[in-house]
Structure 1
Amino acid sequence: MDVEEVFHMNGGLGENSYAQNSYLQKKASDMMKHITLKSLEETYISTSPESLGIADLGCSCGQNTLSTIREMVETIDNYSNIRPPEYRVYLNDLPTNDFNAVFRILPDFHKELNTERHLRCEKLESSIYIAGYPGSFYGRLFPEKCLHFIYSSYSLHWLSRIPPGLYDKEGHSINKGSFYISKSSSLQVSKAYFDQFQEDFSLFLRSRSKELLSGGRMVLILLGRRDRTHVDRGNSFLWELLSRSFTTLVSKEEVKQEKVDEYDAHFYAPSRNELEDEVKKEGSFEIDRLEMFEIERYSGPYMSHGTAVARTIRAIQESMISRHFGEEILDKLFGIYGNLIDEEMGIEEIKPISFIIVLKKL
């Protein structure tokens, strides 16, 4: 399956859209926004540009993207007061992303933001230019030295492709019954995932090093793991529960086991050491900050934590799952998945961890 042609967050504003089911991502970005905005401010102070270039890589669609941009503009406006720079904002995601959903709300966003800016200071004259920039961030996207700040939230744990090392000479998966690295997976499986992560993250760093000006910064938020152990009660366990959900459908003869055996995720949760090692090997950046954090369980009034997580993951994985298995299983699959998460949370907490890493271009 070609990831670039298939993978995207669910577009639109419907019940299963990413826009309606990205609460957990928004919560994480809010938790870490003091780091993001401080890094942006420090970049602006050290570079003092008249035109500030910002890129959001893996922007997806919905209000999360524009709320981050709003906070960035407010931060620099407040620092520079009467003479802020003009803002060049590039929203990047794969071509399959629902950019139209972003474009439809841009006019109102511009109007509201400009009204707020003039209320803060009537003499503000700088403009904000926002553009969609489709393409994979595993490779070059922008001209050389045109960016001051890059932001990417919950995108870099998605690999550019399903690792080729997961398949034998006949093209059959060597990780049958599991979608990711599990207790039953061989060392060859974890090596295949790690090799693909190294290839992708190194290419990402090399590409961004060309596009960022000296002194520019990147703030990257991504899922990860605590130590060298791949199998834990965190992100890998959520994949394990998704595999179990499919096992239930297989037992009811609603999905064939052969189809489950053929499915693998293009996902990798790196450790702190793996991130540090790749940054050091590439050599263009220094690490300003690297922190691990957890998001507290969902506690809203309308659904359980398991249902909230299942809806979030459905909004992300539906494009891949429906292409491989068909759309007719989705409601039942994610209903089972949400119940399994709630059952396991009743036994012991599931604690996925995330990293925020701030990199400064040398």
Structure 2
Amino acid sequence: MADMGCSSGPNAFLLVSRIIDIIDEASRGINRQCPQFGVFLNDLPGNDFNGLFNQLSSFEKDLEEVEEVRQLVKAETSFAVDKLETFIIDWSVDSSQDLEIRAKFAAKSLRVVTEALLETTFTHEVMDDLFRLFEACIKERIAVKEGEYVNIVLSRIVTSKAGPIIEESARKVYNTLRPECLMMAKMGCSSGPNALQVVSRIIDVIEKASRSINCQCPQFGVFLNDLPGNDFNTMFNLLLNFYKDLQEAKGSSCGPCFVSGIPKSFYGRVFPDKFLHFVHSSYSVHWLSQVPRGLVSENGEALNKGNIYIAKTSPPKIHKAYYAQFKSDFTLFLRLRSREMVSGGGMVLIFLGSIHSDDPDLVYELFGSTLHDMVLEGLIEEEKLDNFNLPLYSPTVDEVRKLVEAEGSFAFNKLETITVDWGVDTSQSLDTQAEFVAKTVRAVIEPLLTIAFGHAVMDDLFLLFETRVKARMAEKRSEFVTIVVSLTKKE
């Protein structure tokens, strides 16, 4: 179903909920399975999709909770349900206002409701400080873009190196399936231009393949997927130039292209069964669904003290816990995509890897030691560092191969590694390269660090990190290891 001109308020979801409710009741009335639902919210690229997509988690939760209420009323039997609805309101009510005003409003609203209850446990004296801190957290929560995991420059360089593999996979999908409308998904799209550049490349390959066999170029359905907190507004504002460039380059020789945003975690179902022909993801799948369990002892003591990821000083059980989480997440990712893809569909994944996953020698090990230096200087609390661990894992090629084979839904086309120097352009000065590395890491993990350590230390932290990176690069060459895997969905 499609809501044309959806705007950015809650009305679109209210209507969708009502339609789902009607169809659910109709299916139960004839003893049939309720169908899956594909919902497309359409508006001009300048619409506030960020505000709209940030309401999705509440919408999906409300669907479950509303059904729970319905079942409880039905089980009690005394009442018949005439109406059962939900309403969604932004935390700050007016999302057009200044961020500080919105945070203050949200904090005051909660204080009115909960202060009396809180005072019975925590005393009146701490209330002002508590809600002042809460207001700052609200402001941070509203401002943080939770899905921006991919650095544009590094991603673009690696994608260009992996380009032939992506092209080969897309060409194979078209020649095998010849769909009238080719459905492709970019999982973990972020908000930069890289996603649309990859889409353009795939369309170009398929348009040329169709011409070579004198066939009509298919239409294209393109689905840009990331977490609801991703900046979809910026992404959608790139679409006008994307469509214009596509028209100028291809004209009428290329089928229409329809681009949509899908704000959901790819560790859950994102698409209907047998819907996609091609899936691509770049620098997203190495991010875990959660920090691994098993990083603290039974009495609550941190086991990876002084580190934020697997490091040379980490106990063996730390690597074991991280691998167990990656194994669970990656297997789930493959299983979900296998349900959503047609047989013969293609998938190309690009993500951080390592030569030895129990000693990955990533930039994050150096960053962890930088945080430890901040602890020694009294700028960061030691306990906060000991309890902070990054939710990512950089597997080896062998680990990826074994997990794909064990899951069983996909056949390998290619499984390769690409290495890129930390500084990317080694012809530049060490100062320039070190600054690039620091900015790269900051763009990726600052939101997580700010929540753990506070905003005030960020500038000093990354200045110190830049110094440490320069010293490391002067001592020896360091590289990012990237894994590229091309898969075909089995029959």
Q: CA deviation at 1:170?
A: 4.5
Which residue of 1 is the match for residue 446 of structure 2? 318
Provide the residue aligned with 2:481 in structure 1: 353
Asked if residue 343 in structure 1 is aligned to residue 475 in structure 2, the reply is no
Distance in 2 separating the partners of 1:322 and 1:256 = 13
Q: 2: distance between equivalents of 1:313 and 1:224?
A: 16
For 1:336 and 1:188, the matched residues in 2 are separated by 30
The residue number in structure 2 matching 1:255 is: 380
- Per the TM alignment, residue 345 of structure 1 is displaced from its structure 2 partner at its CA by 1.1
Structure 1 window deviating more from structure 2 (301-310 vs 322-331): it is 301-310
Q: Which runs of 5 or more residues in structure 2 are unaligned?
A: 1-56, 58-140
- What is the CA-CA distance between 1:331 and the residue it aligns to? 1.6
* Whole-Å separation in 2 of the counterparts to 1:51 and 1:283: 27
Q: Which moved more, 1:50-59 or 1:250-259?
A: 250-259
Cross-structure match for 1:71: 201
Task: Answer yes or no: is 1:150 the counterpart of 2:315.
Answer: no
Q: Secondary structure at the match of 2:198?
A: helix
- Aligned residue for 2:384, secondary structure, equals helix
Which secondary structure does the structure 2 equivalent of 1:336 belong to? Answer: helix
Matched, 1:83 2:216: yes
Partner residue in 2 for 1:105: 238
SS in 1 for 2:194: helix
Residue of structure 2 aligned with 1:164, choices 290, 293, 296: 293
Aligned to 2:424: 298
Partner amino acid, structure 2, of 1:281: A
Which residue in 1 is equivalent to 2:411? Answer: 286
What residue number does 1:22 align with? 152
- Of 175, 178, 182, the residue aligned with 1:48 is 178
Shift of 1:7: 7.2
How far is 1:125 from its partner? 5.6
1:78 and 1:58 map into 2 onto residues whose CA distance is 27
2-structure distance, mates of 1:217, 1:64: 20
* 8 Å CA contact retained: 1:152, 1:219: yes
What is the match of residue 14 of structure 1?
Answer: none
Kept in 2: contact 1:165–1:189 (CA 8 A): yes
- 3-state secondary structure, aligned to 1:295: strand
Secondary structure at 1:167 match in 2: coil
CA RMSD of aligned residues (A): 2.0
| More contact order relative to length (CA 8 Å, sep ≥ 6) | 1
Cα displacement string for residues 28-76 of structure 1 (whole angstroms, at most 9, x for unaligned residues) = 0001101111110111110000000100011101111111111111111
Cα distance in 1 for residues equivalent to 2:165 and 2:399: 22
Report the alpha carbon displacement of residue 251 of structure 1 after superposing the two structures with TM: 2.5
As a proportion of its length, which structure holds more helix?
Answer: 2
Letter in 2 for 1:107: L
- Cα distance in 2 for partners of 1:210, 1:9 equals 24
How much does 1:96 deviate? 1.2
Equivalence for 2:6: none
1:173-192 per-position Cα deviation (integer Å, ceiling 9, x unaligned): 32111111112211211111
TM value normalised by structure 1: 0.90
Q: Is contact 2:147-2:228 (8 Å) kept?
A: no
1:8 aligned residue (119, 142, 146)? 146
Q: Which of 35, 45, 49 matches 2:165?
A: 35
TM-score by length of 2: 0.67
Percent identical residues? 35
CA distance in 1: counterparts of 2:147 and 2:222, whole angstroms: 21
1:93 aligns to what?
A: 226
Q: Deviations over 1:155-197 (max 9, x none)?
A: 1111000001112334443211111111221121111101101
Structure 2 SS opposite 1:309: helix
- The equivalences for 1:117-156 within 5 A come to 117-118=250-251, 123-124=252-253, 126-156=255-285
SS at match of 2:278: strand
CA distance in 2, matches of 1:7, 1:94: 9
Q: Which one-letter code corresponds to 2:444 in the other structure?
A: I
Question: Which amino acid is 1:280 matched to?
Answer: E
- Quote how far apart the aligned CAs of 1:124 are: 2.4
1:193 is the counterpart of 2:318: no
Would the aligned equivalents of 1:9 and 1:315 in 2 still touch at CA under 8 Å? no
CA displacement 1:236-267 (0-9 Å, x = unmatched): xx112111211222232221111111100101
Once the two structures are TM-superposed, the CA of residue 9 in structure 1 deviates from its matched residue by 4.8
**Amino acid aligned to 1:328:** A
Letter in 2 for 1:73: I
Q: CA deviation at 1:301?
A: 5.7
**Structure 1 residues not aligned, in runs of 5+:** 12-17
Bigger shift: residues 101-110 or 49-58: 101-110
The number of residue pairs the alignment matches comes to 343
Contact 1:9 1:316 in 2 (8 A): no
Contact 2:221 2:257 in 1 (8 A): yes
Shift of 1:348: 0.9
Residue pair 1:307, 1:338 contacting (<8 A) in 2 also: yes
Which residue in the other structure is 2:396 paired with?
271
Letter in 1 for 2:230: N
Structure 1: 4+ residue segments shifted above 4 A: 4-7, 300-303
For the residue of structure 1 that corresponds to 2:294, the secondary structure is helix
